[in-house]
């Protein structure tokens, strides 16, 4: 159920809709990168599909969790915003940039990279850049003023459940 269909729920601001879409874009880029990496390793003979199954299973779980949280983000769930920011925004970004950073720290040059890159490497690199831009864009949009106002005004699920199960017997008695 979308937050905009809840009673007294504010409309979803464009910043939250766009952030959610950017998380979907990041997942798509991640799937593309994983497919390129698997295809490359299988083509080189450096790994078997069975040997890659564990890593692919973990990636699938991360992608599924990211999609789930992006949907919940759009529904105004503050926990999804925090979880996306901490897990994929922080640690996910680190996992995306650590290898290129180490490569540069080893004394390699960006010009050298492009001179030696084949089509698959360039496709992977462009996807990685798109992936990072999508994550960083989503992070900025999730915490802009319009998004903050939305998350602070969206009814809390716990409160709605509590109100739903409250009976007249549970009503507090007025003090005279």
Contact 30, 124 (CB under 8 A): no
pLDDT per position as a tens digit, 9-51: 678 999 999 999 999 999 999 999 999 999 999 999 888 888 8
Contact 70, 18 (CB under 8 A): no
Give CA–CA dist 59/4, Å, rounded: 31
pLDDT per position as a tens digit, 110-147: 999 999 999 999 999 999 999 999 999 999 999 999 99
């Amino acid at each position: 159920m979308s937050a905009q269909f809840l009673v007294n729920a504010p409309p979803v601001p464009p910043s939250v809709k766009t952030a959610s879409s950017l998380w979907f874009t990041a997942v798509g880029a991640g799937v593309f990168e994983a497919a390129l990496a698997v295809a490359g390793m299988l083509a080189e003979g450096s790994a078997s599909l069975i040997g890659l199954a564990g890593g692919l299973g973990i990636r699938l779980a991360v992608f599924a969790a990211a999609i789930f949280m992006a949907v919940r983000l759009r529904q105004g769930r503050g926990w999804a915003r925090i979880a996306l920011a901490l897990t994929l925004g922080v640690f996910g970004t680190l996992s995306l940039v650590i290898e290129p950073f180490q490569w540069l720290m080893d004394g390699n040059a960006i010009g050298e990279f492009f001179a030696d890159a084949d089509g698959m490497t360039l496709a992977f690199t462009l996807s990685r850049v798109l992936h990072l831009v999508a994550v960083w864009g989503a992070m900025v949009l999730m915490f802009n003023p319009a998004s903050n106002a939305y998350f602070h005004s969206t009814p809390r699920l716990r409160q709605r459940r509590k109100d739903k199960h409250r009976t007249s017997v549970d009503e507090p008695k007025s003090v005279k």
